[in-house]
Amino acid sequence: MHRVLITDPLSEQGIEQLLQAEDIEVIRKTDLTPEQLLQEIKEADALLVRSQTQVTAEVIAAGKQLKAIGRAGVGVDNIDIPAATSRGIIVVNAPDGNTISTAEHTFAMLISLARNIPQGYRSTIQGEWKRKQFVGVELNKKTLGIIGLGRIGTELSKRAQSFNMKVLAFDPYLTQERAHKIGVTQATLDEVIAQSDFITVHTPLTKETRHLINADAFQRMKGGVRIINCARGGIIDENALLEAIQAGKVAGAALDVFETEPPGHHPLFELPQVIATPHLGASTREAQENVAIDVAGEVLHILRGEPFKNAVNLPSIPAELQEKLRPYQMMAEKLGSFASQAAAGALQEVTVSFSGELAEWDTAPLTRIILKGALSHYLSDVNYVNAPHLAKERGVKVTEQKVSKRHGFTHLIRVHVATDTQDITIAGALLNGLGPRIVRINDYSVDVEPAGHQLFIQHHDRPGAIGRVGTILGNHDVNIAAMQVGRRDLGGRAIMMLHIDKAVPEGLLESLEELDEIDHVTAIDL
């Protein structure tokens, strides 16, 4: 008999499968004090929570029998993931349960923004009748730009097309084949920004997407564009949005999320062109039921030893294999991350090759780690377990190969990433006394530590090129910690790998690419 402890209110329909299971004993105790939780967790095999219960390292340590922790929702900020992982406890969430609710809420905001519904409501109940003041626009034949075509963006596109809207979509993993299947037009981010009448964002909030829609983006938009954000606060620069509305560039904005929540008395709320809701994207009865159903099902699978998909940490593998693979795990993720950052475009293929003694082991866990590194550049919810699922969902082909040739190394991992515009091959090895190293980039031999802030520079081998690069970095107050140069022929194509002491400052990449010798510069953060 498995004991499942539920410490936050969950939908009754959601946990019905647990209540009806003959091999499950459900214990519901909400509003526990930290001390009470430490007592109750001792005999639990699984813990189900929402956001109220704080699952700390102390709680996890007290759960001697704990095998799974389920979060009925997406975020797991209230769970100490490293502590759970170190104990071999699987943490699962429910990333799919709110897809329809969020897509519908976004579309409701879209229509409300187009027809001034909240503004008209406020005016009418105040005894006014200002029909001319609230003239809106039709959605028919307008262009909707969707930035981020994941689950929610895809569902939103279906609804927009039913209103006869043209949908432009940008997503790093969107291929032409998938775009055609969904019925949208694949576009670059610049094309979405420049051509859309309505723009909605559906990306995670990451280092790359923070203030993705900024003052420069607003300048490049159509006059009278309307903006919607039901994803994450911070993707849109709220100060820049304020200025763009005040300047008349943006006709209106519909916001469900904010950089700081609750936002308090926000300057945007002073503008009649702005409508807002208090993060209601997932706030439907159905969504609350769905996330509870999903996470309860996942926990049930784990306790019964059945397959599951929404884990947010690494599943257990045999101790002997874990010990063998442990030295390669960090390098594997870095190789995937490097390759993904270095190859622009929609990801289509990831091919992983293991050489030497590695070819004799079960390297599937390393392939998952590499794939997680490759996908995490754009996806915040990817982990070692769901990386293959997310890759398949986005049409990314994943291939694992094993070859006996050692290429001069006892163990060698090669990662080949192909996008719709280019490809790149990265190879890594463990060097005695030095640890993980990137030893090859395409056809160039290098010796690069896969860590910190890097600049990957593709250039022509000409006298003075390195000096000019160094001068520009100095002018931007950037110190070079290490440099590697690779070339095939004297005076031909070459690469530079620069390890720098801080994140790339604004304007540095543009300044470097102005040099005649430079073909392309990519900032790599490892």
**What domains are there in the chain, each with its CATH number?**
2-97+286-303 (3.40.50.720), 99-276 (3.40.50.720), 318-451 (3.30.1330.90), 452-526 (3.30.70.260)
Angle between the 99-115 and 151-162 helix axes, to the nearest 10 degrees? 40
pLDDT value at residue 524: 93
Q: Do you find a cis peptide bond into 450, omega within 30 degrees of 0?
A: no
Q: Round to whole Å and give the CA distance between 470 and 318.
A: 48
Spatial CA neighbour of 377 closest among 136, 173, 179, 225: 173
Question: What is the residue whose two structure tokens read 């960090």?
Answer: 330
pLDDT value at residue 407: 61
pLDDT digits 0-9 by tens, 238-297: 999 999 999 999 999 999 999 998 999 999 999 999 999 999 998 899 998 999 999 999
- Burial environment of residue 213 by CB neighbours within 10 A (0 to 12, 13 to 18, 19 or more): buried
pLDDT digits 0-9 by tens, 359-418: 888 898 899 999 999 998 877 767 776 788 788 888 899 999 998 765 667 789 999 999
User: How many other CB atoms are there within 10 angstroms of residue 134's CB atom?
Assistant: 15
pLDDT value at residue 326: 84
Question: What is the residue whose two structure tokens read 């884990």?
Answer: 311
User: Cβ distance 444 to 450 under 8 Å?
Assistant: no
Question: Region 75-103: what's the mean pLDDT?
Answer: 86
Q: Round to whole Å and give the CA distance between 421 and 450.
A: 25
Cα angle 403, 409, 410 (rounded to 5 degrees) comes to 75
Looking at every residue in the chain, the average pLDDT score rounds to 91
Q: Round to whole Å and give the CA distance between 52 and 146.
A: 33
Angle between the 99-115 and 285-303 helix axes, to the nearest 10 degrees? 160
pLDDT digits 0-9 by tens, 163-212: 999 999 999 888 888 999 999 999 999 999 999 999 999 988 888 899 99
Angle between the 319-342 and 364-375 helix axes, to the nearest 10 degrees? 30
pLDDT value at residue 305: 83
Q: Round to whole Å and give the CA distance between 299 and 306.
A: 10
Catalytic residue among 261, 270, 360, 513: 261
Spatial CA neighbour of 238 closest among 204, 276, 207, 203: 276
Q: How confident is the model at residue 488 (pLDDT cuts 50, 70, 90)?
A: confident
Q: Round to whole Å and give the CA distance between 15 and 8.
A: 12
Strands of 347-356's sheet in order across:
397-403, 347-356, 411-419, 423-431, 435-441, 444-448
Catalytic residue among 202, 279, 437, 499: 279
User: How many other CB atoms are there within 10 angstroms of residue 395's CB atom?
Assistant: 16
* DSSP 8-state assignment for residue 267: G
Spatial CA neighbour of 519 closest among 444, 479, 480, 465: 465
Question: Region 414-428: what's the mean pLDDT?
Answer: 93
Strands 250-255 and 225-229 turn out to be parallel
Look at residue 301 and tell me whether its pLDDT is greater than 70.
yes
Q: Round to whole Å and give the CA distance between 317 and 367.
A: 14
* DSSP 8-state assignment for residue 222: P
Q: Round to whole Å and give the CA distance between 142 and 140.
A: 6
To the query of whether residue 128 is one of the catalytic residues in this protein, the response is: no
Spatial CA neighbour of 300 closest among 61, 26, 13, 64: 26
pLDDT digits 0-9 by tens, 326-347: 889 899 999 999 999 999 888 8
Cα angle 321, 326, 332 (rounded to 5 degrees) comes to 110
Higher pLDDT, 23 or 346: 23
Cα angle 369, 371, 377 (rounded to 5 degrees) comes to 105
Q: Round to whole Å and give the CA distance between 508 and 471.
A: 11
* CB-side neighbour CA atoms (13 Å) of 311: 25
To the query of whether residue 232 is one of the catalytic residues in this protein, the response is: yes
List 145's β-bridge partners, or say none: 168, 199
Q: Round to whole Å and give the CA distance between 296 and 230.
A: 26
Catalytic residue among 232, 368, 440, 459: 232
pLDDT value at residue 408: 66
pLDDT value at residue 181: 93
Look at residue 322 and tell me whether its pLDDT is greater than 80.
no
To the query of whether residue 468 is one of the catalytic residues in this protein, the response is: no
Look at residue 28 and tell me whether its pLDDT is greater than 90.
yes
pLDDT value at residue 124: 95
Q: Round to whole Å and give the CA distance between 96 and 98.
A: 6
pLDDT value at residue 44: 96
User: Cβ distance 356 to 406 under 8 Å?
Assistant: yes
Residue % of the chain over a pLDDT of 70: 98
Q: Round to whole Å and give the CA distance between 254 and 256.
A: 7
Residue % of the chain over a pLDDT of 90: 70
Question: Region 445-460: what's the mean pLDDT?
Answer: 93
What does the CA dihedral 31, 34, 38, 40 come to, rounded to 10 degrees? -10
Q: Round to whole Å and give the CA distance between 298 and 14.
A: 12
pLDDT digits 0-9 by tens, 120-147: 999 999 999 999 999 999 999 999 999 9
pLDDT value at residue 315: 59
